[in-house]
């Protein structure tokens, strides 16, 4: 563990001790720039000079959070060394995953041989399956073995659990090797998947498809009741040997974050992850340019996808429904330009060339000097939803589906490198933008927020 700066840490620790917090309940992050404090609400109210109340989610009754009802205050000498206090303000956005069965043109389905779109059985006819992904993206399937040092992970929050019965059903229905989770941090309640199937949809999607792509690579699940990207990455970095690839299908708009300081603090951890050879892939969101906040005076970029130190994954559809071939941008896929983070040097040319295109939204809607995202995309739209096992076999879609697929491919690439005595890929973005010819160029469609309004159109190169 990196020792914190003693002078600054002592100010905070002494203040918390005086407020009644035991030293053993103060845990510093691996980087040494944050302290995780456990204390009763009564003590927290005194330490922060505020009041707390319990709030229950109207969408998921099991989600109960303690949040302040008044602004918090710190003495001047403490405030001078504290950027922000987290997990006491704002509520997480509980996103709804896209469900549904597409209206398919049966003339597009092959009848002479089993179609990849039917490879999970009749219940998933017309859906994207592991066989579809393997044929489209050319990854090895099944992946029979993995280097002993390879690893990958998914992050789950807010009652998104998984159960063995659904994982087994997916393996059997889609003819992929057994889907297993090697390690779980934060616990799991598989019974919820039977009682409340919707609580498990996201986790099962993430697990089933990252393992469908990289079946032999050991998988870790990081779970937390409360949604906090900062707490999640701190947990990852606290491990001696954290997984090399991370798929995260969660996010909120930048304007919905606690503060800019919170996002900057996450960035420090993302940079630390990169230096340790970790690849972090984040879903770009499913609300187009307007984000979860909705239509307004400006577009709403999503965090952590907008961070320059993660790889943001967008969503596409097949240009022709149920035909494995060229792709078009999914009109609900998140993407745009950050209002917090500046354009990264490694994507400068791609953005400069893009901004020369003729079909841009009004300039007042977006920050042309900001970090642009997504960096990569994969199938995720509603045209051919993903087949997953969640109670029964159902269709789901979103960048939440695209992200674990891309993460699984990165895990496969890592395996090739590791078996040849090389390091893991680590922070991906500079490599991606320096080698555009290595990728399929999506040059059709726009992320116009599902409603045909403003959006960013795809062009050759980005």
Q: Give the residue numbers annotated as catalytic, written as ranges.
A: 202, 206, 400
Q: Is 60 left (phi over 0), alpha (psi -120 to 50) or beta?
A: beta
DSSP-derived pairing of the beta strands 392-397 and 386-390: antiparallel
Q: Which of 344, 337, 313, 187 is nearest to 246 (CA)?
A: 313
Beta bridge partners of 221: 154, 184
Q: Which of 324, 407, 413, 382 is nearest to 119 (CA)?
A: 324
Give every strand in the sheet of 98-99, ordered side by side. 98-99, 392-397, 386-390
Q: Evaluate whether 315 touches 97 at the Cβ level (below 8 Å).
A: no
Secondary structure class of 5 (helix, strand, coil)? coil
Crossing angle, helix 201-213 and helix 164-174, to 10 degrees? 40
Q: What are the start-end ranges of the H helices in 138-213? A: 164-174, 191-195, 201-213
Q: Is 187 left (phi over 0), alpha (psi -120 to 50) or beta?
A: left
Identify the helix (H) or strand (E) that includes residue 311. strand 311-318
**Interacting residues of 308 by C-beta distance below 8 A, sequence separation 6+:** 267, 338, 341, 342, 344, 371, 429
- DSSP assignments along 214-249, one per residue: STTS-EEEEEESS--HHHHHHHHHHSSS--SEEEE-
Q: Which of 203, 262, 204 is nearest to 234 (CA)?
A: 262
**b/e map 410-443, b = 16+ CB within 10 Å:** bbbbbbeebeeeeebbbbbbeebbeeeeeeeebe
CA distance 208 to 446: 28
Structure tokens at 360: 């841009």
Secondary structure class of 300 (helix, strand, coil)? coil
Q: Which of 277, 188, 285 is nearest to 236 (CA)?
A: 277
């Amino acid at each position: 563990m990196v020792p914190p700066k003693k002078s600054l840490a002592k100010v905070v620790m002494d203040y918390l001790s005086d407020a009644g917090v035991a030293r053993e309940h103060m845990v510093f992050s691996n980087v040494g720039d944050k302290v995780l404090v456990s204390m009763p609400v009564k003590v927290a109210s005194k330490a922060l000079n505020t009041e707390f109340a319990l709030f229950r989610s109207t969408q998921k009754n099991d989600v109960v959070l303690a949040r302040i009802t008044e602004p918090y205050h710190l003495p001047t000498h403490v405030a001078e060394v504290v950027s922000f206090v987290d997990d006491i303000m704002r509520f997480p956005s509980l996103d709804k995953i896209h469900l549904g069965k597409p209206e398919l043109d049966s003339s597009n389905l092959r009848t002479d041989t089993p179609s990849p779109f039917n490879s999970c059985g009749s219940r998933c006819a017309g859906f994207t399956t592991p066989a579809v992904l393997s044929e489209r993206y050319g990854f090895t399937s099944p992946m029979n073995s993995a280097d002993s040092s390879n690893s990958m992970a998914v992050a789950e929050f807010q009652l998104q659990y998984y159960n063995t019965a659904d994982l087994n059903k997916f393996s059997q229905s889609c003819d992929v090797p057994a889907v297993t989770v090697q390690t779980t941090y934060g616990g799991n309640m598989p019974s919820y998947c039977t009682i409340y199937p919707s609580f498990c949809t996201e986790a099962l999607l993430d697990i089933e498809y990252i393992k469908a792509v990289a079946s032999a690579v050991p998988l870790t699940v990081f779970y937390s009741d409360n949604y906090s990207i900062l707490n999640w990455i701190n947990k990852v970095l606290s491990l001696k040997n954290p997984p090399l690839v991370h798929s995260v299908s969660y996010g909120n708009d930048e304007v919905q974050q606690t503060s800019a300081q919170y996002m900057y603090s996450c960035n420090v951890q993302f940079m630390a992850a990169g230096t340790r050879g970790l690849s972090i892939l984040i879903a770009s969101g499913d609300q187009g340019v307007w984000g979860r906040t909705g239509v307004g005076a400006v577009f709403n970029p999503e965090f952590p996808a907008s961070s320059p130190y993660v790889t943001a994954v967008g969503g596409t559809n097949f240009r022709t429904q149920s035909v494995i071939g060229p792709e078009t941008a999914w009109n609900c896929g998140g993407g745009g330009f950050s209002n917090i983070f500046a354009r990264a040097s490694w994507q400068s040319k791609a953005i400069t060339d893009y901004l020369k295109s003729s079909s841009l939204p009004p300039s007042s809607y977006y920050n042309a000097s900001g970090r642009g995202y997504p960096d990569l995309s994969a199938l995720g739209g509603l045209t051919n939803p993903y087949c997953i096992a969640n109670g029964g076999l159902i269709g789901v879609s979103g960048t939440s589906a695209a992200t674990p697929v891309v993460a699984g491919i990165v895990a496969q690439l890592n395996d090739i490198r590791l078996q040849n005595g090389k390091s893991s890929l680590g922070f991906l973005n500079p490599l991606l933008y320096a080698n555009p010819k290595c990728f399929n160029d999506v040059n059709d469609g726009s992320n116009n927020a599902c409603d045909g309004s403003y959006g960013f159109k795809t062009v050759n190169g980005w």
